[in-house]
Amino acid sequence: MKKTFFILFIFALTSFTINKDEPFDSKNFKKEYAKIKESLYVGRYEVSNLQYRNFLSYLINSNQKVIYQICLPDTLCWRNSSNYNEPFTQYYFRNESYDNYPVVGISYEAANQYCNWLTQKYNQDPKRKFHKVSFKLLTKEEWMFAARDSDTSKVYTWGSGFMQNNRKQFLCNFKHTSFVYDSTTKKLIEVPNIDNLSFITVPVKSYYPNSFGLYNMCGNVAEMTSENSIAKGGSYLEPAYNVRIASEKNYTKPQADIGFRVAIEIIENKFNSNINFAILKNYFVKNTVTNLENPKIETAENLLKFLAWRQQ
């Protein structure tokens, strides 16, 4: 058994490019996350293959073999798709051509382990924006608010009930279908269009973002929520009706059309804007803080940052 595990472990190491494990980049916070509520930020994009490979790299480097095995994507999930996708079992997750495509074939437990890793990384970053946060999957209610803002009348994230804009551009990645009359059953049946190009995912920064700046909340991949077995927003394998904001997809195992995006819950905000600026300034004057130690104390936020540094 140990020999078998060792062989599988070495195969995993050599079957995809492992990227250098890097700390969470706080400088890109606004670029990567959008503020939804006072204490809630949401990833602008679905988690990509590249990001997830960095996570696996961390697990390997830290010798967390058990968790690593749990978190490996099930690349064979492509065989359960309605199209011939056999090449994707080898290339979709491992090949750098798909770096910026959403990771799929992930279990609910693996998605949560990824969130735990980001939480740990962020809270250890000395340059972090907030003192303490928790990365997580959105609840269904949070997901729907992030998709449509306060406008509960929205069917899709772009506002209208149409799948194309006035320039005939499609607004999300979904299965293009038409209804035709079946003379045998004497019913209308839904069939794929001949020009259907949505047989696979698209890069995470595709189409137009919603009002919060979030991409692909409708279509592309259905997104896991904190409620196990429930994904929201529909996928590229589903017709227009099933990629609505209200759409839900049940799952019991990893699938080729289910991914996830992460959210950040602010637990402790390090810089409390309610602290009186004058009091803080007086504190520094009394404690003879020199310009050499602190060359840029012009604002309350800079004072607070410096105070936090002195207390470390």
At 218 the pLDDT is 98
Is residue 25 located within the same domain as residue 167? yes
Is residue 212 located within the same domain as residue 295? no
- Which residues, given as ranges, of the chain have pLDDT below 50? 1-23, 273-275, 288, 290-293, 295-296, 311-312
10: CATH: 3.90.1580.10
Q: Which of these, 232, 257, 260, lies nearest to 246 by C-alpha position? A: 232
User: Are 263 and 217 within 8 A, CB to CB?
Assistant: no
Is residue 284 located within the same domain as residue 264? no
Is residue 171 located within the same domain as residue 295? no
At 304 the pLDDT is 58
At 102 the pLDDT is 98
Please count the helices (runs of H) and the strands (runs of E) in the chain: 9, 10
Q: Which domain holds residue 299?
A: 277-311
Q: Which of these, 248, 256, 154, lies nearest to 201 by C-alpha position? A: 256
- The whole-model pTM stands at 0.78
Is residue 254 located within the same domain as residue 284? no
Question: What's the rounded Cα separation, in Å, for the pair 52 and 100?
Answer: 10
At 287 the pLDDT is 56
User: Are 257 and 102 within 8 A, CB to CB?
Assistant: no
Is residue 252 located within the same domain as residue 286? no
157: tokens are 């994230």
Is residue 48 located within the same domain as residue 158? yes
At 30 the pLDDT is 84
Is residue 151 located within the same domain as residue 184? yes
Is residue 218 located within the same domain as residue 297? no
Q: Cβ-count burial of 193 within 10 angstroms (0-12 exposed, 13-18 middle, 19+ buried)? A: exposed
Q: Which of these, 75, 59, 174, lies nearest to 113 by C-alpha position? A: 59
Question: What's the rounded Cα separation, in Å, for the pair 85 and 157?
Answer: 29
**Number of domains into which the chain is organized:** 2
Is residue 117 located within the same domain as residue 239? yes
CA dihedral 22, 28, 32, 35 (to 10 degrees): 130
Is residue 252 located within the same domain as residue 294? no
Is residue 57 located within the same domain as residue 195? yes
